Amino acid sequence: MNRIVTFGEVLMRLSPLGNKKMKQTNLLEYYFGGTEINVSISLANFGNKVKHISCISDDFIGETAIGYLRQYNVDTRDIYRTSRPLGMYFLEVGAVMRPSTITYNRSNSAFSGVTPDMVDWDKALAKGNWFHWTGITPGLSRGAYETLKEGLKHAKAKGFTISSDPTYRSGLWKYGVDPKDAIQDLMQYVTIFIGGVNEINEILGTEYGYENDDFIAASKALIEKYPNVEKVFDKIRIAINASWQKIKARMWNGKEFKETEAIEITHIVDRIGTGDAFAAGIIYGLLNYDDFKAMEFASAACALKHTFPGDINYATVKDVEHLLSGNTGGRVNR
Amino acid sequence: MNRIVTFGEVLMRLSPLGNKKMKQTNLLEYYFGGTEINVSISLANFGNKVKHISCISDDFIGETAIGYLRQYNVDTRDIYRTSRPLGMYFLEVGAVMRPSTITYNRSNSAFSGVTPDMVDWDKALAKGNWFHWTGITPGLSRGAYETLKEGLKHAKAKGFTISSDPTYRSGLWKYGVDPKDAIQDLMQYVTIFIGGVNEINEILGTEYGYENDDFIAASKALIEKYPNVEKVFDKIRIAINASWQKIKARMWNGKEFKETEAIEITHIVDRIGTGDAFAAGIIYGLLNYDDFKAMEFASAACALKHTFPGDINYATVKDVEHLLSGNTGGRVNR
Amino acid sequence: MNRIVTFGEVLMRLSPLGNKKMKQTNLLEYYFGGTEINVSISLANFGNKVKHISCISDDFIGETAIGYLRQYNVDTRDIYRTSRPLGMYFLEVGAVMRPSTITYNRSNSAFSGVTPDMVDWDKALAKGNWFHWTGITPGLSRGAYETLKEGLKHAKAKGFTISSDPTYRSGLWKYGVDPKDAIQDLMQYVTIFIGGVNEINEILGTEYGYENDDFIAASKALIEKYPNVEKVFDKIRIAINASWQKIKARMWNGKEFKETEAIEITHIVDRIGTGDAFAAGIIYGLLNYDDFKAMEFASAACALKHTFPGDINYATVKDVEHLLSGNTGGRVNR
Amino acid sequence: MNRIVTFGEVLMRLSPLGNKKMKQTNLLEYYFGGTEINVSISLANFGNKVKHISCISDDFIGETAIGYLRQYNVDTRDIYRTSRPLGMYFLEVGAVMRPSTITYNRSNSAFSGVTPDMVDWDKALAKGNWFHWTGITPGLSRGAYETLKEGLKHAKAKGFTISSDPTYRSGLWKYGVDPKDAIQDLMQYVTIFIGGVNEINEILGTEYGYENDDFIAASKALIEKYPNVEKVFDKIRIAINASWQKIKARMWNGKEFKETEAIEITHIVDRIGTGDAFAAGIIYGLLNYDDFKAMEFASAACALKHTFPGDINYATVKDVEHLLSGNTGGRVNR
Amino acid sequence: MNRIVTFGEVLMRLSPLGNKKMKQTNLLEYYFGGTEINVSISLANFGNKVKHISCISDDFIGETAIGYLRQYNVDTRDIYRTSRPLGMYFLEVGAVMRPSTITYNRSNSAFSGVTPDMVDWDKALAKGNWFHWTGITPGLSRGAYETLKEGLKHAKAKGFTISSDPTYRSGLWKYGVDPKDAIQDLMQYVTIFIGGVNEINEILGTEYGYENDDFIAASKALIEKYPNVEKVFDKIRIAINASWQKIKARMWNGKEFKETEAIEITHIVDRIGTGDAFAAGIIYGLLNYDDFKAMEFASAACALKHTFPGDINYATVKDVEHLLSGNTGGRVNR
Amino acid sequence: MNRIVTFGEVLMRLSPLGNKKMKQTNLLEYYFGGTEINVSISLANFGNKVKHISCISDDFIGETAIGYLRQYNVDTRDIYRTSRPLGMYFLEVGAVMRPSTITYNRSNSAFSGVTPDMVDWDKALAKGNWFHWTGITPGLSRGAYETLKEGLKHAKAKGFTISSDPTYRSGLWKYGVDPKDAIQDLMQYVTIFIGGVNEINEILGTEYGYENDDFIAASKALIEKYPNVEKVFDKIRIAINASWQKIKARMWNGKEFKETEAIEITHIVDRIGTGDAFAAGIIYGLLNYDDFKAMEFASAACALKHTFPGDINYATVKDVEHLLSGNTGGRVNR
């Protein structure tokens, strides 16, 4: 059985109901999120064994977060607890041409305080075979960067497949390391690259365009520099507005280029976590299908995530397959 | 004054708010529903005298259900109370390409335990002139089938018009009667058939297609076998996805075929009960208009139901007429 | 710094959540609204100094209303308190082809009881330079009409720019004055006319059509009769249904006609107060831009209002500029 | 079967949840209340046939109110509809030594506009045998006073028992009639007087004290002046604070004085409507028991009302009997 | 490490908020409960390894229930899934002298359908050392009785300590077995008896009184008949009303009688599950303390449960110790 | 007119509804609190002009906080905005013997980052005459300590009365300054000392007991060391449990000792902010009454705060006077 390990920050997400501004209400809904647990939980919902490694506050907020992960069948036994508070973010949900707005409270969080000594990577990775990380983690703090790197070394040594979604978030990277340097450093451990032209340009310092040919050229350049990278998967979002978008995907797997049909999401419920749903779809897909089917699966999974409120993709393998079989009419399932 | 009688199960419907999964919240909204009370309440909202006959739990849930029916001006005086629990269903509401999902808890319900001795049909039908039933009821239990048949006999004897929505639901019919036999048996009492090619094929064992010509042929075949059937009304749903659909209708009234313009529902609020809204529209329409206007009225009523949360169609005759007059712009009514 | 003064009724708005009918729930959300405070708060959100003058109940409802205005940085120091209750309205929110419905409880309200002696206009207008009024106020009561007129006299004498949205609401005007007479009487004080062919026809007793040429002709006729009117701004709503509409604007500024591109709002959250958002946009725009940019700004502000629940337009100048720069894709703002 | 008729205003009650101030939340719960419908619904909950006569707004608020009454099995067929709004009140619920606060919006309400021609008393009272009124009604408007008096004349003529809770509310009586005159005028129709020394002093202009002897003397004086009065029932509230009180009752039935044991309510949920619960208890009691048992029943019913949120007493006869049998321990009823 | 195994039904508990009747609201809160999982989760909250064995519906309700158990760190790997629905109960919460009311929907539940072949007891009990059962389980169905008995045989054979709370619930036992026979049959497996004079009388057919001497005599008689029983623990509830109660405990451990001081709970939040909290306290206590301290611990745990809404006792060992150290003042814990 | 200035952190308070644990719900209510704004808002509710000085996040959370203060009529014009997040705390509300629990997220907050250059004290204090500070502020960070000291210097120079509630909170003071040193340093600016034996012992390093004689001796010792201190006011809380407490107060005003009667709060709604309500009561009282009446007023204000949810004391002067006049029965205020 596949066992997938993720490492990253667990955030509390707080949001007014519907499209309200916080000024309009004193009621908030909260969930837990964070790009890596989103991947982890989606993979658990696909039936995989998953473990998440993190550093979480040693208070009732942290306990609640851990119970949340357990609810979704994520192994929490290697999570470290500290006295710093859990990171959080507030979200005001937009609509149509009004963007959603997020403000973070994470710079002093439990996870930002993680240091390599807090994780026993040998124990934590004892049973797994796949490791997933994102570009958020090394952007948070030197300790997070170093702890991640330590984990990647262990994962590589143990023969894990290592996937990465190296998203660059400009609001991070405040601790004195150049993002380009750090990501380049970590790229040596990556097998599956889940990102597009933007991310490749960021890493290589190139300026490829967005056409398919550009994507192929960029992917080749990436693999040339990092021969450990085997495949590149890119999710494409075509936004009519915040409420109506299309999702498609393309890939260069070292041998051939392919792209999927676009899936139209006419009434978006929540777009947070849709990239994570795509990443989880790629991981599940590669473990179970060929590359193209994996990409189709990921694209459909990503599309379905837009219909669930919160960060989590609740779609099961059966749900994704149902959509891939052409069932888009939304007939009630009794 | 027309007095319409319905007979069927009252279900509690429980659902998380919005598009949430139950895992995401511990708050549920409940309404009462069930295909026959949906018809009944819609007809009451159109200003008719209606009575619903059922078997309901003798506890505070049952009391609440009865108060609910009374709130909507449904006569509840012939409802029988038993110690079995009220049937219920849980609904997770989908969006776009994600279907809504329903799970039932009704197999041991108060209504499934109904037996012919629990209804005094002479008393219950004393003042009415129209009886409506659906294919759900005989699928629930032998007692429900037999009690319905007894009611139909009385209604026919009293000269009622009898309409039927003979929906076939494959999750039912667990008690040892063949659905085809039962529906064929009950067809002898039907005057107005509210169903399409699927239902006719199910009853006659035929394989008509979905084109208008097929529909006409199927309707003729049905009437040939059951000359008591006078008119056939078919609602057609064209689904772009779970959130965006079109509704149109067609009919064969023994003499001519007609169909309506499609009405587009771009932002569906709740599609549960829309078929029932159509049936109620047909009944109201036939009691007040000619066949084509009845079908137009039903189609517009059905479309409006998609804009109300819950099972109930709150549209009044004035609301339906307003839409039929071409007012689709949603101008605020002050 | 510009200081804008508004005068009008503060209403409590009560509404079930989502698209529910009141029959479906015993929970209501309330906000405060009213066309003039909507303008006022939107202008405060654009960074202006604003003051609202009104007459409000001297109970905990009135206190709550005043705190609400203060929250949004509206100067409430010249509000008069009386023993009559605050006006209110109930709103059932429609969807698609179902219109929203409003019922008022304002005919005996605190504001309807306002009389000229309750406002010290010299003090109230001491620091301002712009006065905005609407056609709702003179429709409420003789006292409201007279108090408004008194305010307009003072504003004119102090050299204020005076804008008016002379909306005619047929449900008002119950107190024995002919709406046409009253509006004609008040038109002498108007500098900026925010209204279209309907309003001009109402005032002049003309029958201009809706084409651009008609609009120009009507505007010219208006200015001919009321030479104090300098510019006419007209918001145009193209409604597909209650959930999907387009907004555009046109103007005649005494010299030239211009119109904007339509902005499409595919998933309307709340359309109450969108006209007020347009008016606030015109006022802000004229104080900061040329006429055409003012109209574009107003049109975009109006479009954004459709994405906020409640009466208030929360869009800031930055938000409106962001949309005017072509950012319609709803990219999350982190 | 007994049929009880009540006449009075239906009010919407709006309240923040828990002990919140309105400033703290924008969510309100609403119920419908009003002293006479509280009596009516409590009597329906005791299994009686009841009818309520009123004048209610002809909008969706009024429809919701009527559905509410029907839900609780109150006959609403003689309710008149007008264009004036439904009366309402806002309630901020206190605790311990903080009093609850109420502000009304009823002076221009549908019911305040009632006039004798709006009620066909012959039809309305056709089947009943008991009429209940309170001192609120004649305090609202001249029309309400006159319509009530007309009803009392008819009721007396038809041989009804007439009970009255002649509460004097100083915030009413704004329309130019002296409360003492009006109540004295209406006393000629009263058989059962549900009130205490305060009310008697108000009516007779006397100054009796609060001891039992005073109560007996006052009752005798009342009966002497109004020989139609047969019995006097007085509810006594001993308040430790807003959350903790005791209830007891005493009576003079023309022959003997009796009083009940006090019932202690250590954790009050909602005290609105507890006087109405007492009145309903007296009416039910007199129709079914001897005078003393009637008073005990009323006192226990009143105590139970303190445990239900909202205006309504949900206690059934079985619940009241259960308490009267000494079951105060709150053992879970499975 | 101790590993405790429980076996029993998982129920969904549905309840209006606060003290509302279902008629007053269409919002329900749900939790999962059931006497055995209440014990299980409380023990997990005390830091123990626990496993719950059950039979749960194979739908999204069942999935939600399992996620709920996992959230609270209960091992769910030996739970069987079937097509029957999850049992549930509705609760209207009383106050003061108004009892809470419960209505069940469990007679046809997933768990009632359990049969011995559905549990692999060898596997399920592989690692444990303590088994807890209650009198609810054998009362549900023959299959539940037989499956429990099979489990008890295995537990005994494996040397488990077996505790029982043999509560007799008269609303159960509908399937044709005499409760006395069944409980007597199962008593042979019990080591720790958590029950009082009522339960002993029920089992032995005796009529002991409630004094301490009676309790000692009854306990001795029980142990005489079932020498496998080592200790008897009895929780005593002294109810002032539904909102205010006292808890104390007594024991006969085969050698000595002891009783605790009463703990007063002046403002009960939720009393469901308080007996289960006591049982969990006894189990934890006997595994960690002497008999008297165990009973004190259980009594304090039980008292604390009254302060948590829902079925679960959230008190940790630290919380219980804190209370046992005399900290009853409720000082805020920052 | 008196103008009172406060300086301190504004915190967001997040809490599940009722007595729930966060694990039980994903809905939170939020308010803004913090000991100094609690004092400030209470004083505004008493009708005073108040200004709060702080450092608040420059995001939509900060904007919401500022709107909140404005709603309650607190002058926010001298608040500084920074990029650090607003501090916050989570509260799980206990009951009876279960304590409430708080966990903070404030160590890296906007306010902790305050430095003396962020406040223009000359401008900020231009119009005031009273300054209030608490022991929380210097415990947060060196910058907070230094900024406060700077403010105190200015206030003293301008002749302000300076009151202090020098609460010592052991969870703070992490930045390397000894709390005793800091408080001793700041004591030189204090005129009115709002604290008891605990606080005095902390400051003087003494060990006075809790009797009245001890309090007098301690107060004298404090005044001897800090002759600028004129009066000492001590609130005494006698806790039966978390839900039921008594409040009384005592004082030494340099000349005489006095104490108040205890006020019993039998059903506490929320005890957060009750100390702040006392402090605000002392300030208001000293500005309007003699010392003893001031203390009585403060004690009653503090008692009333226990009946309001949230941090704010909503009691007005009229409410406090009403209670002081002996109105403890909670009679509904219509």
Residues of B in contact with E57 (CB under 8 A): 103
* H-type alpha helices, A4-158: 35-45, 60-71, 121-124, 136-140, 142-157
- Tell me what pLDDT residue F21 has: 98
With a cut of 80, say whether residue E116 has pLDDT above it.
yes
At F275, phi and psi to the nearest 5?
-65, -40
| Structural tokens at position C39 | 């303008």
Residues of chain D with pLDDT under 70: 1
Is the Cβ–Cβ distance between F76 and F99 less than 8 Å? no
Give the model confidence (pLDDT) of A289-298 as tens digits. 999 999 999 9
CA–CA distance, E204 with F280 (Å, rounded to integer): 66
- Tell me what pLDDT residue F2 has: 80
Residue C119 lies in a domain: yes
Residue C331 lies in a domain: no
Mean pLDDT of chain A: 97
For the segment A183-191, the average pLDDT, to the nearest whole number, is: 97
Chain E closest-CA separation from residue C202 CA (Å): 46
E314 touches chain B (CB under 8 A): no
Cβ count within 10 A of residue A209: 12
Residue with tokens 């206007």: B293
Return the bridge partners of F27, or none.
A29
A64 touches chain E (CB under 8 A): no
Task: List chains touching F (3+ CB pairs under 8 A).
Answer: A, B, C, D, E
Share of chain B above pLDDT 70, in %: 100
CA–CA distance, A97 with C266 (Å, rounded to integer): 9
F23 touches chain E (CB under 8 A): yes
- Tell me what pLDDT residue B49 has: 97
Residue F159 lies in a domain: yes
C73 touches chain F (CB under 8 A): yes
Which among A228, A203, A227, A198 has a CA at the least distance from the CA of A215?
A198
D322 touches chain F (CB under 8 A): no
Residues of D in contact with A22 (CB under 8 A): none
C23 touches chain E (CB under 8 A): no
Chain B closest-CA separation from residue C158 CA (Å): 37
- Tell me what pLDDT residue C330 has: 81
For the segment E214-228, the average pLDDT, to the nearest whole number, is: 98
Is the Cβ–Cβ distance between B92 and E60 less than 8 Å? yes
The conformation of residue E98, written as its DSSP 8-state character, comes to B
**B246-283 burial, b if ≥16 CB within 10 A, otherwise e?**
bbbbbbbbeeeeebbebbbbbbbbbbbbbbbbbbbbbb
Q: Which residue of A lies nearest to D25 if distances are taken between CA atoms? A: A26
| Structural tokens at position D144 | 């309400």
Q: What is the DSSP string of F160-224?
A: -EEEEE----TT---SS--HHHHHHHHHTT-SEEE--HHHHHHHHT----SSHHHHHHHHHHHHH
Contact B70 D68 (CB under 8 A): no
Tell me the pLDDT band of A146, cut-offs 50, 70 and 90.
Answer: very high
- Tell me what pLDDT residue A334 has: 87
Contact D330 E94 (CB under 8 A): yes
Q: What is the DSSP string of F242-311?
A: TTEEEEEEEEE-SS-EEEPPPEEESS-S--TTHHHHHHHHHHHHHHHS-HHHHHHHHHHHHHHHTTSSSS
Which among A243, A319, A244 has a CA at the least distance from the CA of A281?
A319
C112 touches chain D (CB under 8 A): no
List the single residue in D101, D104, D105 with the smallest CB-CB distance to C105: D105
With a cut of 80, say whether residue E156 has pLDDT above it.
yes
> Which CATH number does the domain housing residue C212 bear?
3.40.1190.20
The domain of F204 spans: 3-323
Residues of C in contact with E25 (CB under 8 A): 26
Chain E closest-CA separation from residue B39 CA (Å): 21
Residue C330 lies in a domain: no
Contact F330 D242 (CB under 8 A): yes
| Structural tokens at position A151 | 């984990």
Least confident of A324-333, C40-49, E3-12, E133-142: A324-333
- Tell me what pLDDT residue B328 has: 86
CA–CA distance, A232 with A222 (Å, rounded to integer): 9
Residues of B in contact with F27 (CB under 8 A): 27
Is the Cβ–Cβ distance between C109 and C84 less than 8 Å? yes
Q: Which residue of A lies nearest to B91 if distances are taken between CA atoms? A: A334
Residues of B in contact with D71 (CB under 8 A): 67-68, 70-71
Contact B71 D73 (CB under 8 A): no
Cβ count within 10 A of residue C216: 17
Residues of C in contact with E27 (CB under 8 A): 27
A247 touches chain B (CB under 8 A): no
CA–CA distance, E69 with E79 (Å, rounded to integer): 11
Residue B330 lies in a domain: no
**Taking chain C (334 residues) in consecutive chunks of 10 residues, what is each chunk's mean pLDDT?**
93 97 97 98 98 98 98 98 98 96 96 98 95 98 98 98 94 94 97 97 96 98 98 96 97 97 97 97 98 98 98 98 92 89
Residues of A in contact with E73 (CB under 8 A): 67, 70
Residue C12 lies in a domain: yes
**D188-218 burial, b if ≥16 CB within 10 A, otherwise e?**
bbbbbbbbbbebbbbbbeeebeeeeebbbbb
Give the model confidence (pLDDT) of A223-241 as tens digits. 999 999 999 999 999 999 9
Residues of D in contact with F333 (CB under 8 A): 99-102
Q: How far apart are the first and last CA of chain E?
A: 32
Q: Which residue of D lies nearest to E241 if distances are taken between CA atoms? A: D329
* H-type alpha helices, chain D: 35-45, 60-71, 121-124, 136-140, 142-157, 179-187, 197-204, 212-225, 274-288, 291-305, 317-324
Domain count, chain D: 1
Q: Which amino acid is at E161?
A: T
CB pairs under 8 A between B and E: 72
Is the Cβ–Cβ distance between A19 and A93 less than 8 Å? yes
Instruction: Render each residue's pLDDT in chain F as its tens digit; 334 residues.
Output: 689 999 999 999 999 999 999 999 999 999 999 999 999 999 999 999 999 999 999 999 999 999 999 999 999 999 999 999 999 999 999 999 999 999 999 999 999 999 999 999 999 999 899 999 999 999 999 999 999 999 999 999 999 999 999 998 989 999 999 999 999 999 999 999 999 999 999 999 999 999 999 999 999 999 999 999 999 999 999 999 999 999 999 999 999 999 999 999 999 999 999 999 999 999 999 999 999 999 999 999 999 999 999 999 999 999 999 999 999 888 899 8
Task: List chains touching C (3+ CB pairs under 8 A).
Answer: A, B, D, E, F
The CA R_g of chain E, rounded to the nearest whole Å, is 19
Pairing of strands B3-7, E3-7: unpaired
- Tell me what pLDDT residue A143 has: 98
- Tell me what pLDDT residue D329 has: 84
Is the Cβ–Cβ distance between E65 and E19 less than 8 Å? no
CA–CA distance, F314 with F327 (Å, rounded to integer): 17
The conformation of residue C312, written as its DSSP 8-state character, comes to -
A323 touches chain B (CB under 8 A): yes
For the segment A133-158, the average pLDDT, to the nearest whole number, is: 98
Task: List chains touching B (3+ CB pairs under 8 A).
Answer: A, C, D, E, F
Inter-CA distances, B243 with A327, B21, E97, Å: 14, 17, 49
With a cut of 90, say whether residue E295 has pLDDT above it.
yes
- Tell me what pLDDT residue F330 has: 81
3-state secondary structure of A231: strand
Q: Which residue of D lies nearest to C59 if distances are taken between CA atoms? A: D103
- Tell me what pLDDT residue C329 has: 84
**pTM of structure:** 0.97
- Tell me what pLDDT residue D238 has: 95
Phi-psi region of D59 (alpha: psi -120 to 50; beta: other; left: phi over 0): beta
Inter-CA distances, B120 with B78, B80, D175, Å: 8, 10, 55
Chain D closest-CA separation from residue B119 CA (Å): 22
| Structural tokens at position D84 | 């004036």
Residue with tokens 């209830």: D247
Give the model confidence (pLDDT) of E162-197 as tens digits. 999 999 898 999 999 999 999 999 999 999 999 999
Is the Cβ–Cβ distance between F119 and F142 less than 8 Å? no
- Tell me what pLDDT residue C328 has: 86
**F154-187 burial, b if ≥16 CB within 10 A, otherwise e?**
bbbeeebbbbbbbbbeeebbeeebebeebbbebb
The CA R_g of chain D, rounded to the nearest whole Å, is 19
- Tell me what pLDDT residue B2 has: 81
Chain C closest-CA separation from residue E27 CA (Å): 8
ipTM: 0.95
Contact F103 A60 (CB under 8 A): yes
Contact B23 E67 (CB under 8 A): yes
At E279, phi and psi to the nearest 5?
-60, -45
With a cut of 90, say whether residue A318 has pLDDT above it.
yes
C24 touches chain E (CB under 8 A): yes
Pairing of strands D244-252, D263-265: antiparallel
Residues of D in contact with B68 (CB under 8 A): 71
Q: Which amino acid is at D38?
A: N
CA–CA distance, E58 with E327 (Å, rounded to integer): 45
3-state secondary structure of C245: strand
With a cut of 80, say whether residue A1 has pLDDT above it.
no
Residue D25 lies in a domain: yes
Is the Cβ–Cβ distance between C318 and C304 less than 8 Å? no
Environment class of residue C123 by beta-carbon count within 10 Å: exposed (0-12), middle (13-18) or buried (19+)? exposed
F94 touches chain E (CB under 8 A): yes
Residues of chain B with pLDDT under 50: none
Contact E304 F244 (CB under 8 A): no
Q: What is the DSSP string of A254-323?
A: SS-EEEPPPEEESS-S--TTHHHHHHHHHHHHHHHS-HHHHHHHHHHHHHHHTTSSSS-----HHHHHHH
B306 touches chain C (CB under 8 A): yes
Environment class of residue E117 by beta-carbon count within 10 Å: exposed (0-12), middle (13-18) or buried (19+)? exposed
Q: Which residue of F lies nearest to E326 if distances are taken between CA atoms? A: F97
E323 touches chain F (CB under 8 A): yes
Residue with tokens 């007087």: D193
Residue C268 lies in a domain: yes
Contact E70 A71 (CB under 8 A): yes
Is the Cβ–Cβ distance between C54 and C25 less than 8 Å? no
- Tell me what pLDDT residue F328 has: 86
Give the model confidence (pLDDT) of B104-147 as tens digits. 999 999 999 999 999 999 999 998 999 999 999 999 999 999 99
| Structural tokens at position B249 | 């209708």
